[in-house]
Amino acid sequence: MKGRLRIYERGQCIRDEPLNSLVENFLRMMRASLLSQNNLETGHDTLKTIDGADIDAPDTHTDHPYFEWWWDGAEELRGIVLGTGTTPVSISDFKLESIIEHGDTPGKLWYGHHIVGEKNRFDDFIVSPMKVEWSAKRIIENRTTSDITANEVGIYAIKYSNANDKDYTVMILRDVLTAPLTIQAGRTIEVEVLFWIEV
CA distance 42 to 40: 6
Give bridge partners of residue 7 from the DSSP assignment. 15, 191
pLDDT computed for residue 116 by the predictor:
64
Q: What is the pLDDT of residue 41?
A: 47
What's the predicted TM-score (pTM) here? 0.84
Task: Give the whole-angstrom CA distance, residue 105 versus residue 126.
Answer: 39
Q: Which residue has the higher pLDDT, 105 or 2?
A: 105
Residue-level pLDDT at 199: 83
Q: How confident is the model at residue 25, as a pLDDT?
A: 84
- pLDDT value at 117 more than 70: no
Comparing 106 with 29, the larger pLDDT belongs to 106
Q: How far is CA 48 from the centre of its chain?
A: 15
H helices present in the chain, as ranges: 24-33
Q: What is the pLDDT of residues 137-164, one digit of tens each?
A: 899 999 999 999 999 999 998 776 656 6
pLDDT digits (tens, 9 = 90+) for 66-105: 556 555 555 667 889 999 999 999 999 999 999 999 999 9
What's the CA gap between 49 and 170, in Å, rounded?
A: 4
Q: Does residue 149 or residue 196 have the better pLDDT?
A: 149
**Where does the pLDDT of residue 175 fall: very low under 50, low under 70, confident under 90, or very high at 90 and above?**
very high
Average pLDDT over residues 40-63: 69
Using CA atoms, how far apart are residues 90 and 63, in angstroms rounded to an integer? 29
Buried b (16+ CB within 10 A) or exposed e, 125-156: eeeeeeeebbbbbbbbbbebeeebebbbbbbb
**Confidence label for 2 from pLDDT (cuts 50, 70 and 90):** confident
Residue 128: CB partners within 8 Å, gap ≥ 6?
Answer: none
Report whether pLDDT(58) > 70: no
% of the chain surpassing 90 pLDDT: 43
Go through the chain and tell me how many residues it has: 199
- Of 24 and 124, the structure prediction assigns the larger pLDDT to 24
Residue 95 — φ and ψ, nearest 5°?
-160, 165
How far is 108 from 145, CA to CA, in rounded Å?
Answer: 11
